[in-house]
Structures are given as C-alpha cells and as structure tokens.
Amino acid sequence: MAQYTGVAVSPGRVVGTIRTMAPPVTEPSASEAVPEGVEPAVEADRIEKAAEAVQAQLTHRAQHATGEGKAILEATSQMAADPSLATTAKGLVLTSGKSAERAVWEAGDKVATMLEGLGGYMAERAADVRDVRARIVAELRGEQAPGIPDLDDPFILTAIDLAPADTATLDPAKVLALVTSDGGPQSHTAILARQLGLPAIVAAKDIHEFADGTEVFVDAGFGTVTDEVTEEHHRFAEAWAELQKNPLTYEGGGGVLSDGTRVQLLANIGNAADAAKAAAAHADGVGLFRTEFLFLDRADEPTVEEQTQAYTEVFDHFPGKKVVVRTIDAGADKPLPFLTDAEEPNPALGVRAYRTSWEKRSVLTNQLDAIAAAGKDTEAKPWVMAPMISTTEDTEDFVEMCRERGLDPAGIMVETPSAAITADRQLAACDFASIGTNDLTQYTMAADRMLGSLAHLNNPWQPAVLALVQATCTGARTAGGDPESFGETANKPVGVCGEAAGDPGLAVVLVGLGVNSLSMTPRSLPAVAKVLSTVTIEQAKELAAKAVAAPSADAAKSAVRAGLPVLGELGL
C-alpha cells in the first residue's frame, strides 16, 4: 500500500486506473549516425513511413475530437503531411549520414526557425513543427507518442505536467482526474482543471512510483492518491459521479448562509466571451475583470477607442450589476514590450502593475479614460481597482486618478503583506479592497507561485495567509467605522478574487474571516453556494478561527473539512 500527497487544485473524488502520459521526447545525440550495415537510402525511407504513420494517427484523433482540440489536431496533422520536414530530414541522412531520428530532429529545427523568421501566422506554426518532429522521432524509436494517451476506457491521467497543446486535446469524458508531479496551483494545468471541473492534484512528486494500470483512489480535496482502495473510497467516488450526473445549480442572488446571511458570488473573467459565460451561470456580477488580456501579444498599446469597445462589450452582459475592473496587471509572468522591462532580475518584485504608472503614467490614465467612457455607454456599475499596491501613497494616487474621471467606487488589490497589515489606513483612502490570494500567498510565503517545487508553500490554506486576510477585513471595518458591518451593508467591503474563493471549504473560511464577496470561475459558483448554505455566519467564524490557529496548511484544511460533512456527501 502506498499513498502520495500533492497540492489539491480542483476538488473531486474518483476511483480509476492510472495511465501515464509519455514524457517529452528526448533529443537524439548529435553524433547519432546511420547504423552500421544499413544503407542510407533504407534509413531515409524510414522517415517517410514514420511521418505517414504520425499523420494517420493525428487525423484519426482529430476526427474524434471537438472544439479547440479538433482544430489543434487538424493543424498538426496537416503539418505532418507537409513534405518539407521529411524531405529535409531525408537529405540529411543521404548527405551527412545522420540517423533518421537525428535527421528529423535537425530538420525540425531548420523548418521551425525558417517559419519563425517569417513572423505572424507562419511563426505560430513553428510549435506545430516541433510537435510533429517529436512525434516522428517517437514513431521511429517505437516509443509512445507524446501527449495524452488515446484510449477507449476512462482513466486517471498522471504526467510530469501538461503543455497548453496537451490540455486543448484533453477529453473530460475520458480523463477522470489529473495528477502531475510538477506544476503549482497557478500552473496552466491547474487553471484548466478548475475550468473543466476536473479533479486535479499538482506537485505530487512521487506519483510516478505507481505503475501504469494501477487502480487508485484520488481525493483531490485533500490532495492524496492511494492504491489501497476501500469500500468507503468507492462510496466517495459514487457521490462525485452522482454530482456529475446531477450537477448543482446556482440561480443568482448571492450565497445564502443557513441563517440568511448573504455573500455576493461573482465571476472572474478576461474578455466578453468569458462575460457571456459568467452571465449565463447567473453570477451576481464580476469580481475580477482581467483587462491585461487585451494588451497581451501586442507590441504597442491599444488605443482608448479599442479599449472602450472591449470594456463596453463586457459591461453589456451585466446591466445594473457590479463589474470590478482590475487595471492593467503587466509584469512578472505577463510582460509587455511597451510597458515593462524585460531585463529586470526579479520581475515578480519589480516595476509591475500599478507601479508601471510611475514612469509611464499615460498607459494607466488612458485605460481609466476608456473604462469611464464604457461605463457611461452602458448600464453596468464599474468598480475600478489597482493591483500591486504597497503603500497608502499608492492608494491615494490611484484614487485621485479615478476621482478625476468620475470613477466611483475606486479600490485596491490587497496582494502584498504591507497592504494587508495597513488595511485600516489603505481603506480610509479608498472605497473597497479585493484580495488577490494568488499573489498574497506568494509574497507572504516568499515562494514564487510559478515554481512547482514550492507548491506546498504556495497554498492559500497557509495560516499566515489566512491571518492576513483577517487583518485586511478587520482594517476595513475600522476604516468604515462599523466593526459589525457585513455584506452589502459594509461601508468598506472586502472581496476575494483569487483562486481560493472557488474552493468551497475555503470559501466558508473566508466568509468567517469577514470577506463580503467571493469571485471565481463560473463553474465553481454552484458548489460554493451549496456549501455556504449549510453553515451560519457564527459557524463560519468558528471554522475560520480553527484554520487561522492551525499549525500548518494541511492541518487548517483538515480541521475545516472535518466541520463540513457536506463536502464528503458531495464527493468534493
């Protein structure tokens, strides 16, 4: 019997068979040549046959895929059919005596580099070439092709991590759960799993100790995987399966605790398409509009007119409702060529987000002009907030810019410990605060949230992080002049828009700490609403106190889950 633990990123309990995703294809040695006794022409012919086999495999998978996955597989299949890669590789075998595997590898580099030099759409195809190259090399070696296994029966997928191209072809009807040895709570894999509602654990470093085909129980609420599958585990899995057949619903109106206390349940979005999905899910508004997605992949700043149109398209989905707009959060893992310094030695602690306005103020003021214009053209209620605030001077400066444009209310993101512990002064200078638990956790724990090796530290259940959430709420009540205020009656409301808000158990804790609103991926709304409905505000406060007083993140989670039997009943 063995049990391995990682970081839970998307809840759910399943019993199933492990299937391991093939590791990345290793580069053939530069000295690898045509085997002794083999004619170069015969070796070169292997390339064409392998390329044809790869094309057939990809075409078959594309025929059975849908949406973005189908488009990606079709594009990759077309690249495998393109003779340029095979022709270049065969030439290297015949003229330089390289093995078929090495020739394909070098030819892939040449073709990809050529496409990158062309720029635009052609440059984007370079990744497809390298994907096809890896598949052909795997075929030549007789290895499993990279990517998610193409199997008929459902399975639990284990992997080192998943690339974006892998996740695009992931079929939730086939993959019961995801468990990776690398990655962190903010990795692409974790974000995708939450969007799909797929049970997932990351940073389970020893998961590959389980042999392919092993039956295991995955508890993605606690972050554990065990091969000792019991009758109780099967009951938990059956409860989760039943929840998938009869999913919870949320009709809006906020999360209502069993004593009638209401908590706004909002959605995190990045564009108008996300806004449409959030509105369809009956979100009570938007708690985080990530405006930087309009700026990414651009060499120059979008015009005020372009921004106004984009914001208007979002606002139109929420007439009469709150839309919390985060101003541009550039820097760190979201660099922008016209705004941030690519040479910063530590960009996560550098000139990012609001701080970029210190030297390039017009980018922020242009954005605020666009938000104000969109607000006037629609019936939404825009709330504007600045990310990466550290001092009261930062807050006062941002609020002044908002007031000049009639943007009210104006608030701040609490992502730094300094903002949390001075929340009374920060909130005295602005109208509201929204806690970004992703960054607050990494700065509190001094752990880069992009590093899988630090995933156990980058956990919003850390008592130190919860204590700072509590400090923020206490400071807001002090600044508002009413220590007992809560919900829509709070003069200085505090929301949470980090991923922590979508964890049903942690949502109870956050409300118990004094948070007024929770913002999450729309898929999480029903489960959070259901779990909140089972507790009173006093019970939430008791569970929150236990979590803050716990000696570790795991102990905090265990104490809270023990007090929320509904999680087990739902298979969460």
| Residues annotated catalytic, as ranges | 188, 497
Cα within 13 Å of Cα(11), Cβ side:
26
CB atoms within 10 A of CB 409: 18
Token match 């808000």: residue?
501
Structure tokens at 554: 């795991």
CA 438 to CA 455: how far, in whole Å?
12
Residue appearing with tokens 């803050």: 548
Tokens (6 digits) for 198? 């797929």
Q: By C-alpha distance, which of 328, 271, 281, 314 is closest to 502?
A: 281
Q: Which two tokens stand for residue 165?
A: 């191209």
E strands, 291-415, in order: 322-326, 381-386, 410-414
- Residue 347: closest CA among 190, 355, 531, 459: 355
CA distances to 234, 255, 365 from 323, in Å: 42, 18, 19
Instruction: Name the residue among 18, 15, 510, 9 with its Cα closest to residue 221.
Output: 9
Widest Cα–Cα separation across the chain: 87
Q: What are residue 334's DSSP bridge partners?
A: 331
Q: Collapsing DSSP states into helix, strand and coil, what is residue 558?
A: helix
> Does residue 119 come out as left (phi exceeding 0), alpha (psi in the -120 to 50 range) or beta?
left
* CA–CA dist 294, 209 (Å, integer): 43
Give the alpha-carbon dihedral of 415, 419, 423, 424, to 10 degrees.
-160
List the one residue out of 45, 80, 87 whose CA is nearest residue 60.
80
Per-residue H/E/C for 455-498: CCCCCCCCHHHHHHHHHHHHHHHHHHCCCCCCHHHCCCCEEECC
Residues 477, 481, 484, 486: what is their CA dihedral angle, to the nearest 10 degrees? -60
User: Distance of alpha carbon 569 from its chain centroid, rounded?
Assistant: 27
CA–CA dist 145, 135 (Å, integer): 6
**CA dist., res. 285 & res. 555, Å (int):** 33
Are the CB atoms for 148 and 170 separated by under 8 Å?
yes
DSSP 273-295: HHHHHHHHTT-SEEEEEEGGGGT
**Cis bond leading into 185, ω under 30°?**
no
